[in-house]
Chain A
Amino acid sequence: MAKLTVGDQFPAAKLNDIDGLAVNFPVVFENAPATVVFFYRGRW
């Protein structure tokens, strides 16, 4: 069961997108009035 839930602050982290551009959390959320974050399993 996911620890993060409604009312929580999204954790800080730095990842790269698939084009190699850096994405900083939670700063990236300032780019839009709402953001959908979906986790997917990968490794099909």
Chain B
Amino acid sequence: MTAFVYEWERYLKGKVQILGISVETPEEGKKLIERVTRDCQDDRPHIPLDPYPVRLLSDPDAMLIRACGTENEGHWAGTIAAPVTYIVDPSGLVKWAYVSDSAADRPSPVALAKAACAVAAGEPTPAVFPGK
């Protein structure tokens, strides 16, 4: 999530909204926001974070996670979400996807921000996943 915060200015210019979804409770989500905000303020105080770039949603029963097929049922902590990222247009059509089985395998922050801004501008998105 730190990557979204660090690319805040790019997302703001592109008018891109960012939604993060997990099975975590709202309380855990708030703690995550606090941690990321504190790190950002320490490391990159020039980023104002107003408006805050990320909205976290709680899916405690993994309803949407399963509807998207992004569930990981075999985790020791129970059902969790696999680390999958989508870019979706205003009609709800998926325009870009980055599918991974590992939390360490995430799209390049800059490439993701550029792809999202391209979708926002109605421009073509890369056919190849950045970093793959």
**B18–A38 CB distance below 8 A:** yes
Instruction: Determine the residue in chain A with the shortest Cβ distance to B92.
Output: A26
Chain A residues near B58 (CB-CB < 8 A): 15-18
Given contacts A15-B57, A18-B33, A33-B120, contact A42 B23 (CB under 8 A): yes
Task: Give the A-B pair count, Cβ closer than 8 A.
Answer: 189
Of A6, A7, A16, A35, which is within 8 A of B19 by CB?
Answer: A35
Interface residues of B in 53-68 (CB under 8 A from A): 55-59, 63-65, 67-68
The B contact surface, by secondary structure, is: mixed
**A19–B97 CB distance below 8 A:** no
Q: Classify chain A: how many residues form its interface, as a range.
A: 35 or more
Instruction: Determine the residue in chain A with the shortest Cβ distance to B122.
Output: A33
Instruction: Determine the residue in chain A with the shortest Cβ distance to B96.
Output: A6
**B97–A2 CB distance below 8 A:** yes
Q: Classify chain B: how many residues form its interface, as a range.
A: 35 or more
Is B121 on the interface with A (CB-CB < 8 A)?
A: yes
Is B9 on the interface with A (CB-CB < 8 A)?
A: no
**A39–B68 CB distance below 8 A:** yes
Chain A residues near B15 (CB-CB < 8 A): 32-34
**A32–B57 CB distance below 8 A:** no
**B59–A15 CB distance below 8 A:** yes
Once the chains are docked, how many angstroms separate the CA of A26 from the CA of B91? 8
Is B112 on the interface with A (CB-CB < 8 A)?
A: yes
Is B82 on the interface with A (CB-CB < 8 A)?
A: yes
Q: List 13 A-B contacts (CB under 8 A).
A: A4-B67, A4-B68, A15-B59, A18-B26, A32-B120, A33-B15, A33-B120, A34-B117, A35-B88, A38-B84, A39-B65, A42-B81, A43-B23
